[in-house]
A and B are shown apart, each in its own frame.
Chain A
């Protein structure tokens, strides 16, 4: 079993839809959870950074962490064509600064105008 599982998609939605992206993991020691957005042939851009269980909201983005289920989600409200990208979940045991991250494979999202 891989440490982090993420459905690679692709996922295609109409503009304005609510998008739900998910990852599951097996290592209960993970405490820091991140979502990155990556455009084609570019470096990942940090979207959300959360610690332990709970919700975090930033504009149209909401990150949820359920440590009991080892399940994390990213919701995108009012999706826009500019949200079309690959979304990577990542997690670490310690604080992200000096701890290596374990990434999911990424979900490719297309938002159609």
Chain B
């Protein structure tokens, strides 16, 4: 299957700092990438849809000024958690659409805000 690389796999930061998470499609061009958030024992909740070269579309209740998404190329999307707080601690996962219309996921990033 297609490879979606997500980095870093885990990050610990102080409250008030910003954290950037990268999502790369390694062997295909992803016109659309999705960002999800997952709390323990919960399902994936879609945060935003990212299309290359355009502004991201955020789901209801997701603060666009807090979760900045940039999809600057067909192989890279970034999620920046700005002014992170302990309640932002979660598992963040990106996914990218594959040309045959299947969706593949990155390995996830565990964010812990102290």
Give A residues with C-beta under 8 Å from B: 6, 8, 34, 36, 41-46, 49, 88, 95-98, 100-101, 103-106
Listed in ascending order, the chain B residues whose CB lies under 8 Å from chain A are: 1, 4, 6, 31-32, 34, 41-44, 46, 49, 91, 93, 95, 97-108, 110
How many residue pairs between the two chains, A and B, have CB atoms under 8 Å in the bound complex?
60
B102→A103 contact, CB < 8 A: no
Q: Are B104 and A46 in contact (CB under 8 A)?
A: yes
List the B side residues contacting A6 at CB < 8 Å.
Answer: 43
Q: Quick one: which of A34, A41, A43, A44 contacts B6, CB cutoff 8 A?
A: A43
> Which of A88, A97, A100 sits near B102, CB closer than 8 Å?
A97
A6, closest chain B residue (CB): B43
A-side binding surface: helix, strand, loop or mixed? loop
Given contacts A44-B93, A46-B103, A88-B44, contact A97 B108 (CB under 8 A): no
- Beyond contacts A45-B105, A97-B31: 11 other A-B pairs, Cβ-Cβ < 8 A, are A41-B91, A41-B110, A43-B108, A46-B104, A46-B105, A49-B102, A95-B101, A97-B102, A98-B32, A100-B34, A100-B49
